[in-house]
Amino acid sequence: MVSQKTMKTLGTPQNLETKAMDQKSAVVQKMHEEFTSFRSTMEELYMLKKVAADLRSYRRMIKLKKYD
């Protein structure tokens, strides 16, 4: 017969399932955080591209106005 200590060390099947679910949810949470970070980075990059395009347009406008 298996002793009480051995059973506690091995853990009950329910505890093992709970630990596995906690690990899976931690991985899912980490992935969600990474995607959120990626999305915000992409939004910032999009905004910076638009600002750069506006600055180029403004510079062209100044050059044309200079020769008017």
Task: Give 23-45 pLDDT, tens digit per residue.
Answer: 888 899 999 999 999 999 999 99
Answering whether pTM is above 0.85, one says no
Residue 7 has what pLDDT? 55
pLDDT in tens, 41-59: 999 999 999 999 999 999 9
The whole-angstrom separation of Cα 30 and Cα 42 is 18
Positive/negative CA dihedral, 27, 32, 38, 44 = negative
pLDDT score of 20: 75
Smallest CA-to-CA distance from 57 within 68, 65, 47 is with: 65
3-class state of residue 12 by DSSP: coil
Rounded to whole angstroms, how far apart are CA atoms 54 and 47? 11
Domain ranges, ordered by start, for the chain: 29-68
Q: Which two tokens stand for residue 36?
A: 């959120």
